[in-house]
Amino acid sequence: PLERSVRASALFTALVLVAQLLLGGLVSSRGAGLACLSFPTCDGVSFVPSWSGLIGLQIVHRLNGCLLLGAFVCFAWLSRATPRVHRLAFAGVRLVLLQILVGALNVWLQLKVEVTALHTAFAASLALIVGLALREVFRGARARRASTAGATREWEAPQTA
């Protein structure tokens, strides 16, 4: 059976992804995509020159992206005994790494529309991966509970009227 840690890791990863999607929407809608003009530092010198305004929003988006990568790595590690879930979690690790690279390209190329569209497409792909992983984790748990309940009933003594 899937361990509680795998389910908890899947949920944590999903929550961090939702936060990242919200932050990405804020970065885009507030025009904070180029609040930091370099990558990986923000201003060519410091990783966190300020926590306020558009720069702060961009920094939080970058840091949460790192947290998302860590969440996917933990999820992939914890799910390695469950091949279907592990494949999805590891695909998430690869996609987050690509997403970070595309985010850096967004900065280096000054928000080229094609790169920005790719960044959005990868975000949607991550949402799909997490949705599929959650389905596997929790559908598998329900199926195991149902099969366990059925096995228990087979061992019960027959009822006499």
Per-residue pLDDT at 131 exceeds 50: yes
**How many Å apart are CA 148 and CA 32, to the nearest integer?**
52
Q: DSSP class of residue 75?
A: H
Whole-model pTM?
Answer: 0.84
Residues 5-62 pLDDT 10s:
999 999 999 999 999 999 999 999 999 999 999 999 998 899 998 899 999 999 999 9
CA distances from 96 to 66, 111, 120, 125, 143 (A): 9, 19, 12, 10, 30
Answer whether 135's CB lies under 8 Å from 101's CB. Answer: no
Tokens matching residue 27: 């970065």
